Amino acid sequence: MLYIALRMLFGDRAKSILLLCALGFATLLMAQQTSVFFGLLKWTTAMMRNSKATIWVVDKNTQQLNELKNIRDIEVGRVRSVEGVQWAMPMSFTIIQAKMPDGFFRNIQLIGLDSATLAGHPTQIKKGSIFELLNAKTVMIDQVAIEMLSPDPANPIGVGSTFEINDKEARVVAVSQTDRAFFGYPYVYTTYSQATKYVPPRRRMLGYIIAEPSPGHKPADVARRIERETGLNAYLEKEFARKTVIWFFKNTGIPIAFGSTVILGFIVGIAIAGQTFYSFILENIPNFAVLKAMGATNRTIYQMMIVQASIVGIMGYGFGIGLAGLFGRAVIRRGQPPFSLDTTILITTFIAIFLICCFSVLIAGKKIKEIEPAQVFRV
Amino acid sequence: MTTKQKTASKPNIIVHDIHKSFRDGGETVNVLKGITMDIGANELIMIIGPSGCGKTTLISIIAGTLHSDSGFVNVLDHDLRSLSEEQITAFRGNNVGFLFQKFNLMRTLTCAENVALPLLISNMDHMTAHEKAVNALEQVGQADKANRFPSELSGGQQQLVAIARAIVHEPNIVICDEPTSALDHENGLRVMKIMEKLVAYPGRSVIVVTHDQRIFQFANRIVSIEDGTVHSVKKPKGQI
């Protein structure tokens, strides 16, 4: 009978295509919007993925990764003195303008790495040598910088190009591959000492201290110890990422904007799929009455409906995820908007589609229960 | 003793003093008011009467798709009033074949798939059901239509396919509701000639509700119902 159920469903091409489209587009809306949303949130913690460190130490009043309250240089020494800290390095973060050869100014995110060790540098170097950064007036740019800072796209900047930061020369010695930042500005890396020359002098120049616990010490214990002994906030990578994401949830309209579209996708899915499935059942009442008269139980007919809803749900889901994937491929190639279609989104969207199908079966199932086999002589 | 091994002496269907009423708005309408009749094996009974006289209600009760309010309904040695919903559904599936005025074939299924439905409902495997369906179509001369859809057939051909569906599971009771009223004279006769052959199947009874006087000649008995009671019983074909 399950085969018959599918024949009934797909025999009605218009209805089955409408159902597939409804579920497919509901899936697409939910998966695509959630992926862009999570991609956007991922951008907010891009810096942490570019500069790997187990512990991030920041000022007590720093609320998230991208909004810093600078700390004093001497704090590096204080963190290093905490028991269980293997090493601690300074890192500065400044959004500043760069003057390009064409005379235009563009914003960049200037990261100052420890002048001796370059700790926290991106691991993927596409061109040039990171060690060249140890020379004065040198910088390493990322792939976004090539796209955004090149005055002429036909002649992109690269190793050997120069521009100015705060009237001081910056010579590109390497190009790295980084995760794109939430603000959209390119990352430009230099040494901490060079960064202090590019950035107008301030009393507190240091953005973060990145640290690594000694072998045998639990990172969480070391972080708490740093907090106790220095009065600064010390976070494990995941803790700081979570704090940053929560900050964006609470302080921006992004979750509401994307959330409302996702909810809309769910409602549209329920409305169209539920209505279409219900009308499919209504149109098939004479057939179901005949089946009941011929000895089909309610259970058999429910099973048929569940198979119909499941198959159309799985196909619609696959169709929608496929479209979302195509969208993702296209945007990942372009670099934006952000897109992160991970397993959680796949599972959550599947559950949402499953709920839509359950709802459709429930409302249609109520109708099936009402069909009397004696109706067979009246329909 | 299984249903299909029934002795010929005992009627297949015994209906005694059955009553049935429906609520219509605030009013109770008594549709059947003490119907009594029996139908033997290899008998083709026609039930006639004006609209609303209770014909359809009577065959619904005999077919087990409706319960009577009172009275005795015994079909193939089963007291239908004592069966649970599940048992009566299984009973219908095994013993009753249906034929409708508007054929009621599923338009999205091929003729063979339509015919195989009663077998698939009783969980027969798809291949065997398909084979039996083609055999049933052969019996009604429509084997060449097995892979065609109902919409590709004429009304007469559709009704023949519906007959194949009604007999594919070899039921002992075949209930027909106005089987010829949607057909022209020629097709009506064609359908009834096949029905006549079907009655010859051992132990089978065929009940036909009809208004179509053209087919009265095929009946063994004609039961006329008026106002919920049996008005008269006639034997055409010169059998009186």
CATH number at residue B142: 3.40.50.300
Q: Which of residues 9-68 of B touch A (CB under 8 A)?
A: 56, 59-60, 63, 65-66
Average predicted confidence (pLDDT) for chain B: 86
Residue B80 has pLDDT above 50, yes or no: yes
Find the radius of gyration of the CA atoms of chain A.
29
pLDDT tens-digit profile of B138-185? 988 888 989 999 999 988 889 889 999 998 998 999 999 888 887 788
- Six token digits for residue A287: 């057939």
Please give the pLDDT value at position A205.
85
How far does chain A reach from its first CA to its final CA, in angstroms? 22
Output the pLDDT for position B139: 87
Give the number of domains in chain B: 1
Cβ–Cβ < 8 Å for B169, B123: no
Which candidate from A10, A295, A300 shows the least CB-CB separation from B92?
Answer: A295
Determine whether the interchain pair A295/B65 forms a contact, defined as Cβ–Cβ distance below 8 Å: no
The pLDDT value given to residue A378: 63
Would residue B185 count as lying in a domain?
yes
Phi, psi of A113, rounded to the nearest 5 degrees: -100, 160
Contact B86 A297 (CB under 8 A): yes
Please check the confidence at residue B39 and state whether its pLDDT lies above 50: yes
Q: Which of B183, B118, B109, B187 is nearest to B148 (CA)?
A: B109
Size of interface A-B (CB pairs under 8 A): 78
Strands A162-165 and A168-176: antiparallel
Q: Chain A partners of B108 at a C-beta cutoff of 8 Å?
A: 7-8, 10-12
What are the boundaries of each domain within chain A? 2-43+253-377, 72-231
Compute the distance between CA of residue B121 and CA of residue B129 in angstroms, rounded to an integer: 10
Q: Tokens 């219900």, residue?
A: A278
Q: For residue A67, list its beta bridge partners.
A: A64
Q: Average of pLDDT values for A152-175?
A: 91
Q: Does A8 touch chain B (CB under 8 A)?
A: yes
Of A284, A283, A317, the C-alpha closest to A4 is A284
Write out pLDDT tens, residues A56-84: 999 999 988 888 889 998 999 999 999 99
**Which residues 271-300 of chain A have a CB within 8 Å of chain B?**
286-287, 290-297, 300
Judged by CB atoms closer than 8 Å, whether chains meet at B121 and A296 is answered as yes
* Residue B39 within a domain: no
Report CB contact under 8 Å: A292, B89.
yes
- A336 to A5, A35, A73, A182, B168: CA distances (angstroms): 43, 12, 36, 11, 63
Contact call for residues B52 and B70 (beta carbons, < 8 A):
no
- Is residue B70 in some structural domain? no
Q: Contact B65/A376, CB-based, under 8 Å?
A: yes
Residue B57 inside a domain? The answer is no
A374 touches chain B (CB under 8 A): yes
- Other Cβ atoms closer than 10 A to B121: 23
Position B74 in a domain: no
**Cα(B63)–Cα(B56) distance, rounded to whole angstroms?**
10
SS (H, E, C) A152-187: CCCCCCCCCCEEEECCEEEEEEEEECCCCCCCCCCE
Please report whether residue B32 resides in a domain: no
pLDDT at B25 over 80: no
Among the partner-chain residues A3, A295, A378, the one whose CB lies closest to the CB of B93 is: A295
- Per the domain annotation, does B199 fall within a domain? yes
Judge whether A307 is closer than 8 Å to chain B, CB to CB.
no
